[in-house]
């Protein structure tokens, strides 16, 4: 969480988001870039499995900002531990790819975990679509819901294509970089920097495109090649 940024900048540089493991290692590890949920969680799932953990890949629906109207099932999340169906006590939810609200550690099923000034929790509920699902919250804010149906790496190809190319996707609408910290959640969306705090207060600060590179470096620990930074700055000005 502290080493690999959450960002969608390649989408706005006209590049395909590739989610095979070789591409993920090349971009996120060797290239010291970031990514969004499929990139983060597919890479981390592979790391966990190579360390001997049992990992189940899942898919959920983002509810943040609109808990009622259904959106496509496009968020990847992980169960770690436990192999017996219904053995909830042995499993924890691990998610390293939900932007500024990403849990800073494992979250128990039907329980809560506190990291810094934030508390993440999971509980069962009936979704607006009528199905029983797990819900992830931070403090009192509903983030997303997800089912227990196991998914495979190939199952993320279609939602990844939607997320990175479809005009309805929030990732296509503006360059975004996010970071989750102990006492603040930071979101750079276009030229607005939003800081959310545990008491639910927030501030929004306009960013001059000329300051974009310094902000990426100082706040999000992300350095872009000069040509990429120049292309993004031109896009933000436009």
Domains of the chain: 1-167 (3.30.2140.20)
Q: Give the model's pLDDT for residue 90.
A: 80
Q: Give the model's pLDDT for residue 69.
A: 87
Residues 127 and 27: their CA atoms lie apart, in Å, by: 36
Residues 171 and 109: their CA atoms lie apart, in Å, by: 29
Confidence of residue 82 (pLDDT cuts 50, 70, 90): low
Q: How would you class 195 by CB atoms within 10 Å of its CB: exposed for 0-12, middle for 13-18, buried for 19 or more?
A: middle
Active site residues: 37, 75, 95
Gyration radius of the chain over CA positions: 17
pLDDT at 137 > cutoff 70:
yes
Mean pLDDT (the chain) is 94
**For residues 149-168, average pLDDT:** 96
Is 178 in contact with 187 (CB distance < 8 Å)? yes
Instruction: Point out which residues pair with 189 in neighbouring strands.
Output: 176, 192
Q: Give the model's pLDDT for residue 134.
A: 97
Q: How far is CA 154 from CA 9, 36, 232, in A?
A: 23, 17, 31
pLDDT (tens digit, 9 = 90+) per residue, 191-214?
999 999 999 999 999 999 999 999
Q: What element of type H or E holds 237?
A: helix 226-237
pLDDT (tens digit, 9 = 90+) per residue, 93-136?
999 999 999 999 999 999 999 999 999 999 999 999 999 999 99
Buried/exposed 161-180: b ≥16 CB within 10 Å, e otherwise: eebbeeeebebeebbbbbbb
pLDDT (tens digit, 9 = 90+) per residue, 22-72?
999 999 999 999 999 999 999 999 999 999 999 999 999 999 999 888 889
Q: Give the model's pLDDT for residue 88.
A: 52
């Amino acid at each position: 969480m502290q080493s690999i940024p959450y960002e969608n900048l390649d989408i706005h540089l006209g590049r395909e988001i590739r989610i095979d493991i070789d591409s993920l290692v090349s971009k996120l590890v060797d290239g010291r870039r970031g990514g969004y949920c499929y990139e983060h969680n597919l890479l981390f799932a592979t790391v966990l499995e190579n360390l001997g953990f049992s990992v189940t890949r899942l898919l959920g629906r983002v509810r943040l900002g609109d808990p009622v109207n259904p959106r496509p099932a496009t968020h990847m999340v992980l169960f770690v531990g436990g192999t017996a169906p219904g053995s909830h006590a042995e499993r924890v939810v691990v998610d390293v790819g939900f932007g500024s609200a990403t849990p800073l550690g494992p979250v128990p099923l039907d329980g809560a975990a506190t990291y810094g000034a934030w508390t993440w929790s999971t509980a069962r509920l009936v979704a607006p679509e009528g199905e029983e699902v797990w819900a992830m919250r931070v403090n009192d804010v509903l983030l997303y819901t997800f089912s227990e149906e196991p998914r495979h790496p190939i199952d993320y190809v279609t939602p990844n294509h939607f997320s990175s190319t479809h005009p309805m996707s929030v990732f296509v609408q503006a360059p975004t970089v996010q970071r989750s910290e102990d006492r603040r959640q930071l979101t750079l969306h276009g030229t607005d920097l939003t800081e959310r705090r545990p008491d639910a207060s927030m501030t929004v600060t306009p960013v001059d495109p000329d300051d974009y590179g310094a902000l990426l470096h100082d706040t999000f620990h992300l350095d872009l090649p000069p040509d990429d930074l120049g292309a993004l700055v031109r896009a933000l000005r436009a």
